[in-house]
Chains A and B, each alone.
Chain A
Amino acid sequence: MSTAPYLQSPAATASHTEARLRIGGDWTLAHYAQLLPQVDALRSQLDAEVRVDLSDLGALDTAGAALLVELLGAGRLAELAADAPDLSRERRALLQTIGQAMADNEAPAHAKAGSALGDVFAHIGEATLTIWQHLVALLGFIGLTLSTLVSVLLRPKRWRLTALAAHLEQTGLNAVPIVALLTFLVGAVVAFLGATVLADFGASIYTVDLVAFSFLREFGVLLTAILMAGRTASAFTAQIGSMKANEEIDAIRTLGLSPIELLVLPRVFALLLALPMLTFVAMLSGIFGGAVVCALTLDIPLVRFLAILQEDIGLNHFLVGMLKAPIFAFLIAVIGCLEGFKVSGSAQSVGEHTTSAVVQSIFVVILLDAIAALFLMEMGW
Chain B
Amino acid sequence: MSGEAIIEVRDLGNRFGAQVVHEHLNLDLYRGEVLGVVGGSGTGKSVLLRSIVGLREPSAGRITVFGEDLLSLSGERRSLLERRFGVLYQRGALFSSLTVLENIALPLIEHAKLSREAAERLARVKVALVGLPSNAGDKYPTELSGGMVKRAALARALALEPDILFLDEPTAGLDPIGAAAFDQLIGTLRDALGLSVFLVTHDLDTLYSLCDRVAVLARKQVLVADRLDVVADTDDAWIREYFHGPRGRAATQAATGVPGSS
Q: Do A and B come from one complex?
A: yes
Chain A residues proximal to chain B, CB less than 8 Å: 28-30, 32-33, 36, 60-63, 65-66, 89-91, 93-94, 97-98, 101-102, 104-108, 344-349
Q: A63-B122, A108-B138, A346-B142 are in contact. List 4 more A-B contacts (CB 8 A).
A: A32-B114, A63-B125, A90-B191, A94-B188
B129 and A33 form a contact (CB under 8 A) = no
Indicate with 1 or 0, residue by residue over B76-103, a CB within 8 angstroms of chain A CB atoms. Answer: 0000000000000000000011000000
| Chain B interface residue bracket vs A | 20 to 34
A62 and B133 form a contact (CB under 8 A) = no
A102 neighbours in B (Cβ, 8 Å)? 125, 128
Among A32, A66, A94, A344, contact of B189 (Cβ-Cβ < 8 Å): A94
Among A61, A107, A348, contact of B193 (Cβ-Cβ < 8 Å): A61
B124 and A28 form a contact (CB under 8 A) = no
Question: Contacts A97-B129, A101-B128, A348-B96 known; A32 to B134 CB distance under 8 Å?
Answer: no
Q: How far is the CB of B165 from chain A (nearest CB, A)?
A: 12
B191 and A93 form a contact (CB under 8 A) = yes
Among A89, A101, A348, contact of B129 (Cβ-Cβ < 8 Å): A101
B129 neighbours in A (Cβ, 8 Å)? 62, 97-98, 101
Indicate with 1 or 0, residue by residue over B170-212, a CB within 8 angstroms of chain A CB atoms. Answer: 0000000000000001001101110000000000000000000
B126 neighbours in A (Cβ, 8 Å)? 62
A28 neighbours in B (Cβ, 8 Å)? 161
B185 and A345 form a contact (CB under 8 A) = no
Nearest B residue (CB) for A347: B96
B161 and A106 form a contact (CB under 8 A) = no
Indicate with 1 or 0, residue by residue over B211-223, a CB within 8 angstroms of chain A CB atoms. Answer: 0000000000000
State in angstroms the CA–CA spacing of A104 and B141 once bound together. 22
Indicate with 1 or 0, residue by residue over B109-133, a CB within 8 angstroms of chain A CB atoms. Answer: 0001111001001101111110101
Which DSSP category, helix, strand, loop or mixed, fits chain A's interface?
Answer: helix
Among A29, A66, A107, contact of B112 (Cβ-Cβ < 8 Å): A29
> Can you list the 4 inter-chain pairs with the closest CB atoms, starting with the nearest?
A94-B192, A105-B128, A101-B128, A90-B191
B134 and A105 form a contact (CB under 8 A) = yes
7 contacts between A and B (CB under 8 A): A32-B114, A62-B126, A94-B192, A94-B193, A101-B125, A105-B133, A108-B138
B142 and A62 form a contact (CB under 8 A) = no
B185 neighbours in A (Cβ, 8 Å)? 97
State in angstroms the CA–CA spacing of A66 and B126 once bound together. 9
Among B114, B128, B188, contact of A93 (Cβ-Cβ < 8 Å): B188
A62 and B97 form a contact (CB under 8 A) = no
Question: Contacts A32-B112, A97-B129 known; A66 to B134 CB distance under 8 Å?
Answer: no
B192 and A32 form a contact (CB under 8 A) = no
Nearest A residue (CB) for B142: A345
Indicate with 1 or 0, residue by residue over B125-157, a CB within 8 angstroms of chain A CB atoms. Answer: 111110101110110111000000000000000
B6 within 8 A of A: no
B232 within 8 A of A: no
Q: How far is the CB of A281 from chain B (nearest CB, A)?
A: 40
A97 and B188 form a contact (CB under 8 A) = yes
Question: Contacts A29-B160, A32-B118, A349-B142 known; A62 to B189 CB distance under 8 Å?
Answer: yes
Q: How far is the CB of B102 from chain A (nearest CB, A)?
A: 14
B118 and A36 form a contact (CB under 8 A) = yes
State in angstroms the CA–CA spacing of A36 and B121 once bound together. 10
A101 neighbours in B (Cβ, 8 Å)? 125, 128-129, 131
State in angstroms the CA–CA spacing of A66 and B131 once bound together. 15
B108 neighbours in A (Cβ, 8 Å)? 29
Nearest A residue (CB) for B191: A90
B158 neighbours in A (Cβ, 8 Å)? 62
B134 neighbours in A (Cβ, 8 Å)? 105-108
B192 and A90 form a contact (CB under 8 A) = yes
B125 neighbours in A (Cβ, 8 Å)? 62-63, 66, 98, 101-102
